[in-house]
């Protein structure tokens, strides 16, 4: 069975590579924001049929302006602005599709520095020992001291910064054996707040309450950040502390969900889950934070693709 999988590694870049990663993220963010600004201006100007452009036209226009207006973009890989234009096109397609079907999809928003530090590359990407070679950036060391997870064809990589750490997600096309039918019993899953999941056979998975347990510490860090002058060294230090706390909460929640969904997909032939209206549940202001802390949509998303694998 041919599948597309993503594998994530943490990078260990040196100072020069860290600057290059930030520069690529800046080019990606600039291209996205520049294209969004162009589309908004076109939308306001033409209220008739031709209100939108497309990714190819915008990329050609940006390429023609590089030499005179944006020469600093030549220092980065050409893939970063190309993929940014494609991402913007995808965002507008989702917005327009949502308008037609009545599904609530927000209008594309501008990317902010320090919040959206990521970019995508393709081309000559390969592993060399404990390093991964990225276009225009070079060989970057990987923190995991073990062999690569996969043997498939690398399609693209997405590099993202979380707090002060850099991660690379590798999109791979690989052939895996066709899954054999699971011989385990059917099971029903009841998601909750106090317990993450209660199975119909009586098994209980506790909710780590990644956000709820650390809410007071998060509030304290946010309060300290608000007291610092924007742009000062102390402001940047507190901003990093807050980012690290958010990353820790994210990792704890993801770890619990991955363990639960992998257990279900590997050990049960049929899995029945509730068709919850999560957006409706979130309107209860007393329970909204606790419901969001569970990650019900992420649970369903992981369970869907893992059942296909196993």
Tens place of pLDDT for every residue, the chain, 310 residues? 888 889 999 999 999 999 999 999 999 999 999 999 998 888 887 764 455 678 898 999 999 999 999 999 999 999 999 999 999 999 989 988 888 888 888 889 999 998 889 999 998 899 988 899 999 999 999 998 766 677 789 999 999 999 999 999 999 999 888 888 888 889 999 999 989 999 999 999 999 999 999 999 999 999 999 999 998 999 999 999 999 999 999 999 999 999 999 999 999 999 999 988 888 888 888 999 999 999 999 999 999 999 998 8
Which residues, 6+ apart, have CB-to-CB distance to 188 below 8 Å?
Answer: 199, 200, 271, 272, 273
User: Residue 137, exposed/middle/buried by CB under 10 A (0-12, 13-18, 19+)?
Assistant: buried
User: In this structure, are 154 and 273 located in the same domain?
Assistant: no
User: In this structure, are 303 and 192 located in the same domain?
Assistant: yes
- Would you say residue 266 lies in a domain? yes
User: In this structure, are 155 and 6 located in the same domain?
Assistant: yes
Domain final position from 101, 133, 148: 101
Domain final position from 101, 127, 161: 101
- Would you say residue 90 lies in a domain? yes
Write phi, then psi, for 165 (nearest 5 degrees). Answer: -115, 145
Residue 31: predicted pLDDT: 96
How far is residue 190's CA from residue 273's CA, in Å, rounded to a whole number? 7
User: In this structure, are 200 and 297 located in the same domain?
Assistant: yes
- Would you say residue 110 lies in a domain? no
Residue 267: predicted pLDDT: 92
Residue 129: predicted pLDDT: 85
Contact 293, 209 (CB under 8 A): yes
- Would you say residue 21 lies in a domain? yes
How far is residue 200's CA from residue 193's CA, in Å, rounded to a whole number? 17
DSSP state of 275: -
Place of tokens 């940014």: 84
How many CA atoms, within 13 angstroms, populate the side-chain half-sphere of residue 156?
10
- Identify any residues that bridge with 142 across adjacent strands, giving them in sequence order: 11
Q: Which domain holds residue 198?
A: 187-309
User: In this structure, are 200 and 299 located in the same domain?
Assistant: yes
């Amino acid at each position: 069975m041919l599948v597309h999988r993503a594998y994530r590694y943490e990078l260990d870049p040196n100072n020069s590579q860290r600057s290059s990663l930030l520069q690529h993220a800046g080019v990606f963010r600039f291209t996205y924001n520049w294209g969004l600004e162009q589309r908004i201006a076109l939308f306001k100007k033409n209220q008739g049929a031709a209100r939108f452009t497309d990714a190819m036209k915008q990329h050609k226009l940006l390429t023609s302006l590089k030499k005179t207006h944006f020469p600093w973009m030549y220092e980065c890989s050409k893939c970063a602005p190309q993929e940014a234009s494609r991402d913007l096109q995808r965002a507008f397609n989702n917005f327009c599709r949502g308008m037609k079907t009545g599904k609530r999809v927000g209008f594309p928003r501008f990317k902010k520095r320090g919040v959206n530090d990521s970019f995508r590359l393709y081309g000559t990407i390969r592993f060399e020992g404990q390093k991964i070679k990225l276009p225009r950036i070079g060989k970057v060391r990987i923190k995991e001291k073990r062999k690569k997870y996969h043997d498939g064809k690398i399609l693209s990589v997405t590099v993202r910064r979380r707090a002060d750490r850099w991660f690379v997600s590798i999109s791979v096309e690989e052939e895996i054996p066709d899954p054999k039918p699971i011989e385990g019993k059917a099971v029903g899953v009841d998601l909750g707040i106090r317990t993450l999941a209660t199975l119909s056979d009586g098994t209980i998975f506790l909710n780590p309450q990644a956000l709820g347990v650390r809410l007071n510490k998060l509030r304290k860090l946010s309060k300290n950040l608000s007291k610092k002058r924007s742009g000062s060294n102390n402001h940047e230090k507190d901003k990093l502390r807050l980012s690290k706390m958010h990353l820790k909460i994210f990792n704890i929640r993801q770890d619990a969900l991955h363990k639960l969904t992998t257990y279900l997909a590997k050990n049960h032939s049929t899995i029945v889950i509730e068709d919850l209206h999560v957006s409706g549940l979130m309107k209860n202001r007393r329970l909204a934070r606790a419901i969001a802390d569970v990650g019900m949509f992420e649970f369903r998303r992981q369970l869907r693709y893992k059942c296909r694998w196993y």
